Structure 1
């Protein structure tokens, strides 16, 4: 086994906050396979794989988080479950002096207010220009669900406001693939295609950028070993349309029928968009990461997720 080493020649100390499912668990597996000393912190909902240290704490409870960490320090922290500026503020205070670098898993949804003919670059949303409002009802699940992108934007802003806190905000494209895809988005298409029911899309339906579940795990693992900071887009090459997604799904639904219904202002199916805010991956590419092409892995991703329907 080739072990990843720090500059001092020691195995890296990496903390993953969350990471119980989907690409988070894949990241942990990659870190362990590389010989990193991995600590996983969560609320105790599930134990990490063998070889990882398990810490239990509610990341919203600053005292509990501080107590669970004790005197531990880390080369890198990967935060998979920071959704609000309040959580970011707690993390920034608790991890100041405890880590050399903090990697926040952010989202393409920070760009949800954009509408550009070109793919958006990182500077389209400058965290230093984002207003932070800690008084909003971030603890309310319904509010948080409807303000997901805003919560991530403000979380990025909290970290960016402290220059002495080296951090990365990985803005993740829409993730597809894996039999453990819990989002139900492709199954939504499959169920409607199976029944011949219409799939509702905007009258002007824009394509989007995507990334395979294994590729984002690779990207986060690669990021752990780098030294860059600031926001970075993580997306496969090529955009995909709702029609292309449905075509890939339909290949695994024998006898189904794909019907689209357009709407000007009503509710639409998942992964259909009234705005274009596909991400430009130039920065990550120049830093040295090689992305795949979404059109090349889309069929495989649909098969992985819909294997029971195939």
Structure 2
């Protein structure tokens, strides 16, 4: 039996991870601010992870085989976590993002070596305490959080760079609904003029991957993405395939400068998943689950 702490993770793929950990017989502890109760069968700790004394007091003398941090968005949060959990966990798993590659634009899928987190400049003086700033600089915040864990004395960590996640009736983002609503209304879908592919992963698959990572011993960054990059038109085709009785013709509105629809990218967001597969995890292909994921999210029977 293993002791695993999950920070955040009460919704979407985090709660699926917790279900897998419990099913495997792990002792699971969930730490959050108390805004939502965790599922039955776990130990619940309440603390503000931005408040170091509060976090340290909640952890107390506990130690863990693995910590999965689902809500680390800034270098400040990473620095607090590193201080609190040094010597208290054998393995720290940070849920990172494909957005750390936002400065890369390659025709081929990007591997982990495209970003050496140890070389990233950390700027703790920026207003990382402001939610609007964190949202605007999401990729940069994750990149600098990775850098905090990657620099200084060795700290056993993994940065899981997660592709865009699809699927589940509990998808709270509204991204697929955005498309469905516009298509049904006959309104144009705004896309980048040079629309590029991106990598995706099913909500169940990323939960399975994070579960698997807690049981491995490798460290460093690892990309998590299904095979088969998608473009906007692929996602739209999957959405329209769920409609009964037809629908207006899909109209695309290319945008050179300005806001575009979710899952429309002016630069490639394709990730290479070879490292994870070489370590023993086998990813699915997007064609295996895209239709199901869209159906689940849109509530189509």
Task: State the shift of 1:163 in Å.
Answer: 4.0
Q: Please give the residue correspondences for 1:1-310 in structure 2 after superposition, counting only pairs within 5 Å.
A: 11-254=1-244, 255-257=246-248, 258-307=250-299
2-structure distance, mates of 1:106, 1:209: 15
Residues 227-283 of structure 1: CA deviation (Å, up to 9, x unaligned): 000000000001001000001011123332221111111211110000113100000
SS in 1 for 2:139: helix
- Asked whether the 8 Å contact 1:193–1:253 carries over to 2, the reply is no
Distance 1:268 1:146 in 2: 15
**Partner SS for 1:239:** coil
Structure 2: how far apart are the matches of 1:187 and 1:181?
10
For 2:282 and 2:31, the matched residues in 1 are separated by: 30
Secondary structure in 1 aligned to 2:158? strand
Q: Is the 8 A contact 1:130 1:153 kept in 2?
A: yes
Q: Whole-Å Cα distance in 2 between the matches of residues 170 and 94 of structure 1?
A: 20
Q: 1:176, 1:212 within 8 Å by CA — same for their partners in 2?
A: yes
Give the whole-Å Cα distance in 1 for the aligned partners of 2:206 and 2:93. 13
* Contact 1:130/1:157, CA 8 A, preserved across alignment: yes
Question: What's the TM-score, normalizing by structure 2?
Answer: 0.98
Q: What is the TM-score of this pair, normalised by structure 1? A: 0.95
Q: SS state of the match for residue 91, structure 2? A: strand
Structure 2 residues not aligned, in runs of 5+: none
Partner of 1:8: none
CA contact (8 A) 1:60 1:90 kept: yes
- Map Cα deviations across residues 103-146 of structure 1 (whole Å, 9 max, x no partner): 00000000111110111000111101100000111111111111
Distance in 1 between the 2:192 and 2:68 partners?
Answer: 36
